[in-house]
Amino acid sequence: MTEKSQTTLTIHEEKEDELLNSQIKIQQNNDVPVLPFPIFIWRIFLVFGVLLCSSYTIIVHLCEKDGRLPFSSAAVILMTELIKLLLSAIMFVYKTYQSNSNNGWLKCIQLKQILYKEFCPTTQSEEDQATQSLPSPSTTPSTHIGFQHFVFIILPYTIPALLYAFNNNLALLIQLEMDPATYQILSNFKILSTAILFRLIIKQRITLIQWFSLLLLLTAGIVHSYGNFDAQKAFMKSSSLPPSTCQSISCVLHPISSSTIHITTHGIIMISAYCTVSGLSGVYTEHVMKKHSYMSIHLQNFLLYTFGVIVNGIALIFEVHRKGITDEDFQFFRGFTYLTWILILTQSVFGMLIGFVLKYASNIYRLFIISSAMICTTLLAMILFDLHLNSIILMSIILVCTSLYLYYR
């Protein structure tokens, strides 16, 4: 090899080292990681996410028997978290095997070394220095992860599970302080709280046009909630079905069961806390996933869902004791049908897809997915349950489309 070719090779290696170091520094500075797949697949994922989210309310209604759910909602949520946990573990093992195809499944068995690289990332220059300091080639580098370091990385993943659990219980208590229609309308303010917390915590700039588009999205949610209230009343007046059946079908869009508008001071405080915590849980999850963006998305999901399983398992135990169900009478899968499993699988896939959105995009994408799904749910309900599209719901559809255009133009 000539001196010129050796110099060229050295320069090329130095550039590769600089590129690797810069990529790790960028990732550790909370910037958005690079998509691991082509952009057209990403767009398909987003559309698929909208369809999955919109299918939730429809499938829940199809699961109903005599206007009630035959299964425990806590059991379904726990099962969903378990499926997500299992899928994340399988995908992490498969990705490890795929990236170490030369060593085959033997590399997957070396779990300690793999986790060490995930929890303790190093640049190429640091690896070279560590290799040069070894006393002999046969000596393997230490894969010991200190307990404090391990806890420091793991602990942030517990907070989203606690926030979600807090909000789920708060949502139930809010129903006692206001009517369902008011709850549905005011809960749309979580769009605004998410945007504000996104700006404060993620520190990503939002232009005036984008703020205006988010206000349009908030308006669309409020208008849509009010439009569904009118659609429900019109459906119940015009339908020849029994009142209980009409009530069940009309609740596909929003569970409004009372026409009396009321709200207490405690209700205002609680709905404010609900919207704030709802925004905080999403933004904090995004912050953690991007702060540890050097980690595999599947490992991050695994950590999130592990604590989700623990928290929801405790919630199920409390529900069983609250209802006074004995160990002999308790049946985890009571009321489960093929539709229940479809609900669990669709929500599991949707939850994992949202993990990708939070890591490789932002919470703003998540807001638009949920708002777009709201429109899709309305259209599906029109097809399946013969609900009529009124001018108010049509206005909300136009507002969502306008907001989407203004934000990403």
pLDDT tens digits, 17-40: 454 444 444 444 445 688 888 999
Domain map (residue ranges) of the chain: 36-62+70-101+108-117+159-408
Q: What is the pTM of this model?
A: 0.79
Share of the chain above pLDDT 90, in %: 38
What residues pair up with 65 in beta bridges, in sequence order?
Answer: 68
Least confidently predicted of 5-9, 132-136, 159-163, 315-319: 132-136
Of residues 211 and 256, the one with the higher pLDDT is 211
Residue 70 per-residue DSSP state: S
Q: Are 229 and 215 in contact (CB under 8 A)?
A: no
Q: Which own/partner contact pairs does 237-246 have at CB distance under 8 Å and 24+ positions apart?
A: 244/66, 244/67, 245/67
pLDDT tens digits, 250-278: 444 444 444 566 788 899 999 999 999 99
Q: Following DSSP, what letter does each residue of 134-183 receive, concatenated?
A: -SSTTPPPP-PPPHHHHHHHHGGGHHHHHHHHHHHHHHHHHTTTB-HHHH
Residue whose pair of structure tokens reads 């009630």 in the numeric block: 68
